[in-house]
Amino acid sequence: MTKGRVFSGARPTGRQHIGNYLGAIQNYVALQEEYECVYCVVDLHALTTLTDTDKLKENTAEMALDWLAAGMDPQKSIIFVQSHVPQVTELHTILSMVTPMGWLIRLPTFKEKVRIQPDNVNYGLLGYPVLMAADITLYKADTVPVGEDQAPHLEFTREIVRRFNNHFGPTLVEPRIKLTPFPRVMGLDGVNKMSKSLDNHIELAASPEEIERRVMTMVTDPQRRYRTDPGRPEVCNVFTFHGFFSPEQVDEIETQCRTAQIGCVECKRTLARNLADRLAPFRERRAELARDPDLVWQVLADGAARATVIARETIAEVKERIGLP
Ligand code: SF4
The residues with which 81 forms a beta bridge, in sequence order, are 41
Tell me the C-alpha distance between 252 and 249, whole Å.
5
> What are the helix and strand counts (H, E) for the chain?
14, 5
pLDDT tens-digit readout, 23-35: 899 999 999 999 9
pLDDT at 182: 73
CB 273 within 8 A of CB 255: no
The residues near 35 (Cβ < 8 Å, ≥ 6 apart) are 3, 4, 5, 6, 143
Phi then psi for 134, rounded to 5 degrees? -65, -40
pLDDT at 291: 97
Q: Counting atoms of ligand 1 from 1, which one is nearest the CA of 237?
A: 8
The residues near 316 (Cβ < 8 Å, ≥ 6 apart) are none
Q: Ligand 1 pocket: which of 257, 259, 262, 273 to mutate (most atoms <8 Å of CB)? A: 257
pLDDT at 183: 76
Q: Is the pTM of this model over 0.85?
A: yes
Amino acid identity, position 73: D
The residues near 3 (Cβ < 8 Å, ≥ 6 apart) are 34, 35, 36
Q: Ligand 1 pocket: which of 238, 244, 256 to mutate (most atoms <8 Å of CB)? A: 238
Distance 166 CA to ligand 1 centre (A): 57
- Specify the residue with its C-alpha closest to ligand 1, atom 6: 264
Average pLDDT of the chain is 94
Distance 223 CA to ligand 1 centre (A): 11
Residues with catalytic function: 113, 193, 196
Distance 205 CA to ligand 1 centre (A): 25
Indicate the burial class of 102 (C-beta count within 10 angstroms; 0-12, 13-18, 19 or more). exposed
Q: Counting atoms of ligand 1 from 1, which one is nearest the CA of 242?
A: 3
Q: Counting atoms of ligand 1 from 1, which one is nearest the CA of 239?
A: 3
SS3 assignment, position 305: helix
Angle at 12 between CA 9 and CA 15, to 5 degrees: 115
Lining residues, ligand 1, CB within 6 Å: 220-221, 224, 231, 233, 236, 238-239, 257, 262, 264, 267-268
Comparing CA positions, the residue from 252, 225, 204 lying closest to residue 20 is: 204
Distance 263 CA to ligand 1 centre (A): 7
Q: How many residues does the chain have?
A: 325
Phi then psi for 40, rounded to 5 degrees? -125, 135
Cβ–Cβ contacts within 10 Å for residue 293, how many? 10
Task: Dump strand ranges (E) for 48-101.
Answer: 78-81
Q: Ligand 1 pocket: which of 262, 265, 271 to mutate (most atoms <8 Å of CB)? A: 262
Q: Counting atoms of ligand 1 from 1, which one is nearest the CA of 268?
A: 7
Q: Which residues of the chain have pLDDT under 70?
A: 1-2
Phi then psi for 88, rounded to 5 degrees? -65, -35
Q: 3-state SS string over 213-224?
A: HHHCCCCCCCCC
